[in-house]
Amino acid sequence: MLLLRGSLSKHSKTVASRVSKRGQPCRTLATSDEPLVKTALNTLHKQLGGDMVPFAGYELPVLYKGDNGGVMKEHLWCRADGKCSLFDVSHMDEMTGEENSERDTRSPPRHMSRTQPRSPTEFVFTSIKRGYVLWNSEVNGATKFGDMKHFQEQLDQFDGDVTMEYLEDSMQLLAIQGPGAAAAVSKLLPDAFDLERMAFMTGTNTTLDGIDGCRITRCGYTGEDGFEIAMPAENAESIAAKLLEDETVNPTGLGARDSLRLEAGLCLYG
């Protein structure tokens, strides 16, 4: 993962301008006869002036209207010192399961039993029909339904001790990215939680704004420092609203999400 440092203002404006002129992300996968899925933040997005578009079968904001809205302003905000951007990434799928550590892992091609608990890792899915180990996984939003089908087909062919549960209905996922992300998130964490000691690509279960059942991971896909936060769906709106009370936090849509990771040289997929 690349962390960007230094002044990128001129280059950032160029990238953001190109995405802004394009209008919206090109992966609008819902068709006219398919009802769009709404995340738990749908009402909040609209209250904040979100310009809602179809994306991967979901209704999500491509940008927000207002003084700090628009692809370019949202992009530059995420890069600015002391500031950070809040993204709704609940269209990504989340699942959990039990492992069989003795079984060779081929799909995904990684021994999850060798991964430390709550430590994120990236992997690809292969088509080899073998059993696999699964702890916690977040699946690319644009391919999630195909991924879920693939997982289930693999499980149906494997008679070992592997179970899996999809958490889409019970959990939501937010990403907060930018130089000020740690300071903003720290305000909602327990006093004893030292966020500065959390290394990049590590995570832990915690309470957030007094709400149990949350998980915070130091990772992201913008080129900035940041966190992805999983939380119970019924608490997602209140946690997002609490984060947005901080004047350094700006709601950010799909347009800037694309331009930020394009600028960072990260794969534009999902």
Helix (H, G, I), strand (E, B) or coil at 137: strand
Indicate the pLDDT class of residue 129, thresholds 50, 70 and 90: very low
Quick one: CATH architecture of 41-92+170-264? 2-Layer Sandwich (3.30)
Identify whether the C-beta of residue 137 lies closer than 8 Å to the C-beta of residue 94.
Answer: yes
Q: Could you tell me how many residues make up the chain?
A: 270
- In this predicted model, what pLDDT tens digit does every residue of 235-252 receive, in sequence order? 999 999 999 999 999 999
Among the ranges given (36-40, 92-96, 226-230), the one the predictor scored with the smallest mean pLDDT: 92-96
- In this predicted model, what pLDDT tens digit does every residue of 181-200 receive, in sequence order? 999 999 999 999 999 899 99
Q: Which residue has the tokens 């799928």?
A: 93
Question: pLDDT at position 131, please?
Answer: 43
- In this predicted model, what pLDDT tens digit does every residue of 41-93 receive, in sequence order? 999 999 999 999 999 889 999 999 999 999 999 999 999 999 999 999 997 65
**Single-letter amino acid code for the residue at 100:** N
Query: Where are the chain's structural domains?
Result: 41-92+170-264, 94-103+118-166
**Please, what is the Cα angle at 221 between 35 and 28, to 5 degrees?**
25
- Backbone CA torsion sign across 76, 79, 83, 85: positive
Residue 221 reports pLDDT greater than 80: yes
Question: pLDDT at position 56, please?
Answer: 82
Among the ranges given (36-40, 131-135, 208-212, 231-235), the one the predictor scored with the smallest mean pLDDT: 131-135
Q: Which residue has the tokens 């999850």?
A: 112
Higher pLDDT among residues 233 and 2, named by residue: 233
Distance in angstroms (rounded) separating the CA atoms of residues 177 and 141: 18
- Percentage of residues in the chain with pLDDT exceeding 90? 53
Sequence-distant (6+) residues with CB within 8 A of 55 are 25, 27, 28, 29, 30, 62, 91, 141, 254
String of DSSP letters for 177-243: ESTTHHHHHHTTS-TT--GGGPPTT-EEEEEETTEEEEEEES--SSSS-EEEEEEEGGGHHHHHHHH
- Nearest-CA neighbor of 39 among 254, 221, 261, 256? 254
Higher pLDDT among residues 115 and 67, named by residue: 67
| 99 annotated to a ligand binding site | no
Question: pLDDT at position 98, please?
Answer: 55
- In this predicted model, what pLDDT tens digit does every residue of 165-177 receive, in sequence order? 555 578 999 999 9
- In this predicted model, what pLDDT tens digit does every residue of 139-164 receive, in sequence order? 444 555 566 666 667 666 666 555 55
Tokens representing residue 5 in the block: 């440092």
H helix count then E strand count, the chain? 7, 12
